[in-house]
Structure 1
């Protein structure tokens, strides 16, 4: 006679505390997805030589806590913003997948870039630049949901409005 096998929990074999509440979190997410907008979550890992790796998270899914009853995402999605520099220029890349070019407003100084999204989201983000730049040299473009702003390095520190192409 063949015995009946008990159905095993998928995460039972892992034995890690990491997975203790994962099924509960997934169920809560699936229940809430039908009642609200899309969930967006992502991360990037930056590892520069000689430095500790940096983990940056983005999206509209809040950190899960057993004490939190309200598990709805915010309406504002946090964009992924990366800064790249070389000897002559500084490049700022930001992802805004559901934003129109006309809704972007940029202001820059020698050490700071302010990105605002007009409209329903009312998103605003300040980006500290790693080196002084010439805000008048800024060139901005927006294509396929990606904003790219390029600056030349300098020591000038006057605010300038930037037009998005």
Structure 2
């Protein structure tokens, strides 16, 4: 038969070089880690018909007092806040999913932006701005759960309330 070649398996040579020293590498890593004990944490939910769900923690992490109000995360979630600046402007971006625009209050000074969320879960954050800004130049918008506040750089210091578009 002319023209028939046996295809070489890609994985034939792949494992031979790469995994020759794998066991030695793992042992060296374990020695570097020392006698630290890995931790395990989790919870299980048991729901029997006609009863309330039962939550059980398990693992080898230190135990904390189990108070039902602390067991579940609070309704208030801290937003992710990013600050960007360029030569003329300072931009503050904050994520507030599931919050209505009407529930957000903003107050600014030349060095700070105060963000208040009202409603069922109240939240306040005082954001330190990296440079002095003109609080009267603030423009704020809120769309799809993202608050954006933009300032011009300046040296003015009086507090100003900001209207959200």
Superposition TM-score tier, normalisation by shorter sequence = 0.5 to 0.7
1:67 aligns with 2:85: no
What does the per-residue CA deviation read over 1:110-156, in whole Å, with 9 as the maximum and x for residues that have no partner?
00000000111110000000000000000000011000000000000
Q: Which residue of 2 aligns with 1:87?
A: 87
> Secondary structure in 2 aligned to 1:102?
helix
Q: TM-score, normalised by structure 1?
A: 0.64
Which residue of 2 is the match for residue 142 of structure 1? Answer: 142
| Counterpart in the other structure of 2:108 | 108
**How many Å separate the matches in 2 of 1:78 and 1:154?**
29
**Runs in 1 of length 4+ with deviation above 6 angstroms?**
14-19
Which runs of 5 or more structure 1 residues have no equivalent in the other structure?
1-13, 36-64
Higher Rg: 2
Two-structure CA RMSD over aligned residues (Å) = 2.7
Q: Scaled by the length of structure 2, what TM-score is found?
A: 0.64
Deviations 1:9-40 (A, max 9, x none): xxxxx967888223xx2x32x649x97xxxxx
**Partner in structure 1 of residue 163 of structure 2:** 163
Greater percentage in helix: 2
- State the number of aligned residues: 119
| Unaligned stretches of 5+ residues in structure 2 | 1-28, 47-51, 54-60
**For 2:37 and 2:162, how far apart are their aligned partners in 1?**
46
What secondary structure does 2:93 align onto? strand
Give the superposition deviation at 1:66.
1.8
Q: 1:19 to 1:83 in 2, by over 3 A?
A: farther
